Amino acid sequence: MEQLTQFAPFLLMFVVLYFFMIRPQQKRAKNEKEFENSLKVGDKIVTKSGFHGKIAELAETTVVIETMSGKLKLERSAISLELSAALNKKA
């Protein structure tokens, strides 16, 4: 019983670490993956580097976007925001 009380603070630290650090990170990663999978051709997007464009082609891990200056091939993870849904909600 004495060993259990000595081990309890470490167990409590692990539980707190899990619920405040590990679990939210897993949730965020899942949401990002769902966002990447929900993209479709024609969506207006903004990349993490600030480029605005429209999706022209989709591949498994990459996306080709049309911008005012031409086409760019990027990783899907480089897209930070999808504007089509936000613009449709305002209208």
Same domain, 54 and 26: no
Return d(Cα 42, Cα 18) in angstroms, integer.
39
Asked if residue 45 and residue 66 are part of one domain, the reply reads yes
Q: What are residue 55's DSSP bridge partners?
A: 65
| Placement of tokens 């897209």 in the chain | 79
Domain, as residue range, for 34: 1-38
Instruction: Identify residue 79 by its one-letter amino acid code.
Output: I
Residue 1 shares a structural domain with residue 17: yes
For the whole prediction, is pTM greater than 0.85?
A: no
Positive or negative CA dihedral for 46, 51, 56, 62? negative
- What's the pLDDT tens digit per position in 4-56? 788 889 999 999 988 899 999 999 999 988 988 889 999 999 999 999 999 99
Same domain, 88 and 45: yes
Number of domains present in the structure of the chain = 2
For tokens 């849904």, the residue is 85
Q: Other C-beta atoms within 10 Å of 83: how many? A: 14
Q: Are 22 and 4 in the same domain?
A: yes
One domain, residues 9 and 28: yes
